[in-house]
Structure 1
Amino acid sequence: MTEIESLADLDATLADGSALRGLRIQDLDLTGHEAQLLARTDLDGMVVLGGRLSPDLDAHLRLHGALVFPTDPHAPVNPYRATLYQPHELYEGLAERGYEGTPDALAYHWSRDATLHHDAFVSLLRAVHDDSMSDALTELLHGAPVVGVMGGHALARGTDAYAGAAGLGHRLASAGLVVATGGGPGAMEAANLGALCPSEQVLGSVLERLAAVPSFRPSIEEWARVALEAHDDIVRIPVEERSVRSVGIPTWFYGHEPPNVFCNGIAKYFSNAVREDGLLARATAGLVVLHGAAGTVQEIFQSITPLYYAEEDRTLAPLVLVGVDHWSREVPVWPAIEALGRDRGLGRVVHLVDSVEEAAELVVGSRA
């Protein structure tokens, strides 16, 4: 089984005479290759996911054993896309139509539309979309060491805590790690921003710009506009090597949280369960947890479970909670973590610290 995700890959396959049986052709415009494909009959087991093809080619493929999956012209997103989202895609039309007219907002409303909850075809499209996101995310990361940074959406721009989370992201990315967050505002945005910035000087300048719009409430439009402008300035800065430093993994399940834009790629999911499992599973270099509430607590214990049951001789990545008072008293999950960690490998890799600097040192030092 071979995945074909670009026309260049399809050209190469057709040119070398390879059999077309079992190919997975994902989201391609096949109109320019129609004559070549109509001449082939070795098509059994081929799967065509979305894209564009004529009725004649559609009939020919099906006649010779291929499966052709159609899309829904009413869907606000392409369920078969082969790449992660880029910020301007999700916020397309922001200036003209406002946030409610963007693909991001329309996808959320599509996902919550009560008339579609029991539509098997729409459910299939959402599931295929999320699987496509996972596949594209795996290809983008390509085995790179990933550190997850968790935290709440309420953290405001312009605060010391926001600057601290951004500094944490920058320190981790500068050490060669890819910073992955839940992709939302607040602490997540700050960590993604710090990771994306190529220098402390650039980060400091952007922090000042963003402080003018502290929160996405009451205006997502202004919050996103200033961020998109800053994002574009960051990615235009010449660097020796343009590598992946920052990834956001948000979900339409939290419709009140718009995605942050400071990412090399955004893997946005309809299923929060699939999104959370994928995010935590990819945090191979460790996990840092900043202040948060219910969603962050859920992620903490979801990450603890595999550490708790891990084999004793397995090397485990660190899990670092930042904020002694917060996690011991305000949201007292630390006593439970300590209890679970007794006589377990978990106890050796969980840490409670008071500063993002300590958290960065623990994660970076664990890889030395």
Structure 2
Amino acid sequence: MPTHTPPTDVPHPPQDPRKARKIETLEEFDEVALSGSFAGCRVQAVDLTERTFALLVTDTAQAVFLGCPMEPQALAHVRAGGALVFPPIPDLPFDPYRAAPYTPDELYAGLAEDGYPATPDALTHAWAQRTAAEEDVFASMLRSIHDDAVSVALDDRLRGQRVVGVMGGHALRRGTADYEGAARLGRALAREGLTVVTGGGPGAMEAVNLGAYAAPYDDVMLGKALELLARTPSYHPSVGDWAAAAFAVRERWPDGGPSCSLPTWFYGHEPSNPFAAHIGKFFANATREDGLLSRSTSGVVFLPGAAGTVQEVFEAATPNYYLSRGAPVPLVLVDRAHWTEELPVWPLLEALAAGEAMAARIALVDGVDEVPQALERLAGA
């Protein structure tokens, strides 16, 4: 029997029947406007410049408007009526109040015309680096608001889905056998009906998102896509060329399968890969790491990696050990030689799990083709 069991007498806060309603689209705004009151509503990142009349005639007391552009007359009226307004912040390369994950097209807007340095992704990273050096408390607040908004958007996107996280190193180059193996893994998991989530960067992470993107196509498509990508094996020396190769694949096969990724601007040397349909990009790496693992409720797969991947193994193992998130989730380490000889993580993980509930939820496999069966076996343990 496990020596660690969660307490049963911890009080939980009662559910508030007046839970605020989120409004994230003009359609939702118009629906509520018909009721005559926005009391208790949270209107998030909706352009209301064409809704001045509705704002003037509708009760906005106790409403909150987050990053919603509106005409000056409407802004003055809703503030006077008791609403709390957080206006859009001018000259920011990102929206701190956004209500949805990013898309590849959004992060890489302008890539073809002006190059990677002019994209929102690069400009936001530059802003983050500059403001962090300045120790600006206002900028710190904006980063926190943004990351919380993205977290909520991801929860909305992933709710009810069977999510499997796949971790792996960023240095894996396109055109290698290991890159192809990671892509086949992403495809196999997606075809099992699982939602694949990665750390969103290059290397193994990109390969897994690519595989999920290829899942609706026949097997030949992935081979052709790998050939095209191999012509630009790394994001060095040019992130722009690397990303453009991925967009060329997406253009040739436009109806790819969905997956998610959680990259970070903390690591500027790890650009976001364009194969994830929904990208939750964060300023804080700690928020990103915990968010990735906590949302992987159907298992976590660890491909060979270095320090970052080792850290993630034990970040995933800790809640499994203490049962702090309920029943342990399956953890699968891929490549026996890597995890027992090069970086002997498996012996330590196995020793940690001995006598605990998590012991039945960990596995070490030789290759990616064994992963789907391993996850299925561990889930039933």
TM score, norm. by length of structure 2 = 0.90
Alignment of 1:72-83 (within 5 A): 72-83=89-100
Query: 1:70/1:201 Cα in 2 relative to 1: closer, same or farther (>3 Å)?
Result: same
Count of residue pairs brought into register by the alignment: 359
Q: Give the corresponding residue for 2:110.
A: 93
Deviation at 1:315, TM superposition (A): 4.0
Q: Distance in 1 between matches of 2:124 and 2:146?
A: 12
- The one-letter code of the counterpart of 2:104 is P
2:220 to 190, 201, 208: 201
2:180 to 143, 163, 177: 163
- The one-letter code of the counterpart of 1:357 is D
The reply to whether residue 153 of structure 1 matches residue 170 of structure 2 is yes
2:153 to 105, 121, 136: 136
- The one-letter code of the counterpart of 2:38 is L
SS in 2 for 1:179: strand
Q: Give the corresponding residue for 1:240.
A: none
Q: Give the corresponding residue for 1:340.
A: 352
Deviation at 1:131, TM superposition (A): 1.3
Query: 1:46/1:116 Cα in 2 relative to 1: closer, same or farther (>3 Å)?
Result: farther
Cα pair 1:291 1:323 within 8 Å, conserved: yes
Output one character per residue of 1:55-74: Cα deviation in whole Å (capped at 9) or x when no partner: 22111111111111023212
After superposition, the CA RMSD in angstroms is 1.8
SS in 1 for 2:50: helix
Q: Give the corresponding residue for 1:35.
A: 53
Cα pair 1:177 1:245 within 8 Å, conserved: no
2:189 to 172, 188, 192: 172
The more displaced of 169-178 and 196-205 is 196-205
- The one-letter code of the counterpart of 2:230 is A
Alignment of 1:118-137 (within 5 A): 118-137=135-154
Cα pair 1:175 1:364 within 8 Å, conserved: no
The reply to whether residue 248 of structure 1 matches residue 261 of structure 2 is yes
SS in 2 for 1:362: helix
The reply to whether residue 105 of structure 1 matches residue 128 of structure 2 is no
Output one character per residue of 1:244-283: Cα deviation in whole Å (capped at 9) or x when no partner: 6311110001100110011121110111111111110110
Deviation at 1:51, TM superposition (A): 2.2
1:70 to 71, 79, 87: 87
Q: Give the corresponding residue for 2:248.
A: 229
Q: Distance in 2 between matches of 1:54 and 1:262?
A: 38
Deviation at 1:116, TM superposition (A): 6.4
Cα pair 1:316 1:349 within 8 Å, conserved: yes
Output one character per residue of 1:19-62: Cα deviation in whole Å (capped at 9) or x when no partner: 3111111111112111121123x322211011211222111111
Q: Distance in 2 between matches of 1:186 and 1:246?
A: 16
Q: Distance in 1 between matches of 2:118 and 2:376?
A: 42
SS in 2 for 1:190: helix
The reply to whether residue 8 of structure 1 matches residue 27 of structure 2 is yes
Q: Distance in 2 between matches of 1:245 and 1:85?
A: 13
1:326 to 332, 338, 347: 338
The reply to whether residue 263 of structure 1 matches residue 276 of structure 2 is yes
Q: Distance in 1 between matches of 2:106 and 2:96?
A: 14
- The one-letter code of the counterpart of 2:282 is Y
Cα pair 2:360 2:378 within 8 Å, conserved: no
Output one character per residue of 1:192-242: Cα deviation in whole Å (capped at 9) or x when no partner: 0001111322212111111111111111111110101112333347xxxxx
Q: Distance in 1 between matches of 2:349 and 2:297?
A: 20
Deviation at 1:6, TM superposition (A): 0.3
1:210 to 219, 229, 235: 229
Output one character per residue of 1:115-162: Cα deviation in whole Å (capped at 9) or x when no partner: 764323222221111111112112222310000000000111111101
Deviation at 1:316, TM superposition (A): 2.8
Q: Distance in 1 between matches of 2:185 and 2:134?
A: 40
Deviation at 1:297, TM superposition (A): 1.0
SS in 2 for 1:352: strand
Q: Distance in 2 between matches of 1:279 and 1:18?
A: 40
Cα pair 2:107 2:120 within 8 Å, conserved: yes
Point out where structure 1 has 5 or more consecutive residues left out of the alignment.
Answer: 238-243
Q: Give the corresponding residue for 1:303.
A: 316
Cα pair 1:321 1:351 within 8 Å, conserved: yes
Query: 1:192/1:329 Cα in 2 relative to 1: closer, same or farther (>3 Å)?
Result: same
TM score, norm. by length of structure 1 = 0.93
Q: Give the corresponding residue for 1:21.
A: 39
Point out where structure 2 has 5 or more consecutive residues left out of the alignment.
Answer: 1-19
Q: Distance in 2 between matches of 1:345 and 1:10?
A: 47
SS in 1 for 2:85: strand
